[in-house]
Structure 1
Amino acid sequence: MADFKVVLSDPQDGISYKVEATGGMAGAFIGKSVGDIIAGDALGFPGYQIAITGATDKTGIPARRDLPGLGRRRLLLANGVGFKPTYHGQRRRMSVRSAEINGDFVQINAKVVEYGEKSLKEYFAPAEEAAE
């Protein structure tokens, strides 16, 4: 089974949290695409709705939302995810991943869309206190 590092952003507080997704938690992401919304119950946050905003594979290649299917592709890019031009009109052929999440991914970026009863600070506070 795949293991993921999920970087969960909280737009209300402006804080990001790192969640290790293993086993069943990681299974909730397999087969989903960038832009999909999943239930926060899969990560242990009941009542939350979480949107997948991006992902990166084991070599650091980002996933593009507009590419369906699995695997890597080399595309001629003028802007967007995977390439930032340094001058007007610049294009470059870059490797990017398709949007569907599989076991090759290492990091998944996500943000909270709907909040549950408890705040995310309450879930992560004991872990931060134990680290000190």
Structure 2
Amino acid sequence: MATFKLNISDKKGKTITKEVKDKDAGPFLGLTIGAEVDAALVGEAGKLKITGGSDKSGVPLREDIHGGARKYIMLSKGVGLREAEKGQRIRKLVRGNTVSEEVYQLNCFYDGELKVEEKPAETEEKKA
């Protein structure tokens, strides 16, 4: 089965990372970018909206390419292209907008407020 690393962010800018495996990852298969899922799958109340992701080798998901296959496309701006000069187009490898077993990371937006656990500050004892 599939394993996904979910990066979940909220409207305040807080982000948490959760990993879902096997049966928990099943409901994500076949969804497209922009689809909403119940957040109970990751232990929260509310909705999760899929906003993007990447596959095992780092190839990004692109919303305007249908299906789950990898394709080389000409890009002048947008997801999958960092910088291009005015008028410049570059052929880049991107993956379609459908979540498949090859996808490794999913970026999600949570409609509520996340509870971020803060790590306690480590105190060092000074030795004399």
**Shorter-chain TM band:** 0.7 to 0.9
Q: Which residue of 2 aligns with 1:52?
A: 50
Aligned residue pairs, count: 122
1:120 positional shift: 2.5
Q: Which residue of 2 aligns with 1:25?
A: 24
After the TM superposition, which residues 114-129 of structure 1 pair with which residues of structure 2 at under 5 Å, given as runs? Answer: 115=112, 119-121=113-115, 124-125=116-117, 128-129=118-119
Question: C-alpha deviations, 1:31-80, integer Å up to 9, x for none?
Answer: 101111111011121x3101000010011000001111121000011111
Tell me, which stretches of 5 or more residues in structure 2 are unaligned? Answer: 123-128
Q: Which residue of 1 aligns with 2:108?
A: 110
2:74 aligned partner, one-letter code: L
C-alpha RMSD of matched pairs (Å): 1.8
Runs of 4+ with deviation above 3 angstroms: none
Contact 2:7 2:18 in 1 (8 A): yes
- Normalising to structure 2: TM-score of the pair? 0.87
Which has a greater percent of helix?
A: 1
Question: C-alpha deviations, 1:57-112, integer Å up to 9, x for none?
Answer: 01100000111112100001111110133311110110000000010011000011
- Normalising to structure 1: TM-score of the pair? 0.84
For 1:107 and 1:20, the matched residues in 2 are separated by: 9
Q: Which residue of 2 aligns with 1:5?
A: 5
1:129 positional shift: 4.8
